[in-house]
Amino acid sequence: MSRNISGLNGIEGKTPFLIGVSGGTASGKTTVCNRIMEKLGQVDMDQTERKVVCISQDSFYRNLTPAEIILAEKGQFNFDHPEAFDNDLIFSTLSDILAGIKCQVPTYDYCTHSRVQGQSITIYPADVVLFEGILVFYVAKIRDLFHMKLFVDTDSDTRLARRVARDIKERGRDLNSVLNQYMNNVKPAFEEFGLPTKKFADIIIPRGADNSVAIDLIVHHIWDILHLKKMNGAEMTPASIQHPYLH
């Protein structure tokens, strides 16, 4: 299903512009999303006021069985396989978001490999929603929901170096487990499931967040689309979103 600008004027004009951001592990997906939000002037404000929000596919890792938890603790569970995610929950959440409905997204803990019980993030209706993750273009019915698809293309040595540093510092891992997991699951799964989805991207961003020219062009395009919606009289207004070249 393709979408055009008139298709954006959905239910009560509140359909957000939904952007999928994919790429290998540690390619810079989150950093690129943060840059886009910064350039749209959306960082230093309250969650309820934001017109641009970013959601991670990692929030939708499915609950593991006790046997799978034991594997995960040994670094042997394949978190890079499409079936590691709760794809039904991803689809229903993104569908709610497109319908302008406030929704809850689980909070995920990489140290325990599970959702944090009783804790979730409220996503309020927004003008632009970024959904980033290693396999956001894998399932066709999810892929078809995006108005724009970006693929962050960063050299695999750079990604591995960043992943080692990040997983040890932020995700409670040691060097051996990061390298074993990378060689046994992360790399083969990326080659089998993630990399082939690059062909679905509208825009490929070489070098990730270092590519400020690509990010500026994307931000400009987002701003143009929101401005056009305003001109067309849709309810949604980009009034609180700053033009990338005017600040």
**Residues that bind ligand C5P in the complex, under the rule CB under 6 A:** 25-26, 29, 58, 61, 79-80, 110, 113, 134, 186
CA–CA gap between residue 42 and residue 144 (Å, rounded)? 26
Tokens standing for residue 50: 């934001």
Among ligand ADP, ligand C5P, none, what binds residue 162 when CB lies within 5 to 8 Å by partner kind?
A: ligand ADP
Q: Does 208 bind ligand ADP (CB under 6 A)?
A: yes
Binds ligand ADP (CB under 6 A): choice among 210, 227, 237, 243:
210
CA–CA gap between residue 191 and residue 71 (Å, rounded)? 22
Report which of 2, 5, 181, 16 is spatially closest to residue 95, judged by C-alpha positions: 16
Among ligand ADP, ligand C5P, none, what binds residue 28 when CB lies within 5 to 8 Å by partner kind?
A: ligand ADP
List binders of ligand ADP among 88-147 (CB under 6 A): none
- Taking the complex as a whole, the smallest distance from the CB of residue 57 to ligand C5P amounts, in Å, to 8
Among ligand C5P, ligand ADP, none, what binds residue 31 when CB lies within 5 to 8 Å by partner kind?
A: ligand ADP
Among ligand C5P, ligand ADP, none, what binds residue 209 when CB lies within 5 to 8 Å by partner kind?
A: ligand ADP
- Taking the complex as a whole, the smallest distance from the CB of residue 101 to ligand C5P amounts, in Å, to 26
Which one of the spans 23-31, 76-84, 122-130, 218-226 is the region binding ligand ADP (CB under 6 A)?
23-31
Which one of the spans 73-81, 104-112, 202-210, 227-235 is the region binding ligand ADP (CB under 6 A)?
202-210
- For 19, 26, 163, 177, 200, the CA distances from 74, given in Å and listed in that order, are 35, 21, 18, 8, 34
Burial 121-130 (b: 16+ CB within 10 A, else e): eebebbbbbb
The single-letter DSSP state of residue 196 is: G
- For 18, 150, 208, 214, 234, the CA distances from 113, given in Å and listed in that order, are 28, 27, 27, 34, 42
CA–CA gap between residue 112 and residue 70 (Å, rounded)? 11
Written as one letter, the residue type at 171 is R
Site of interaction with ligand ADP (CB under 6 A): 23, 25-31, 162, 166, 208-210
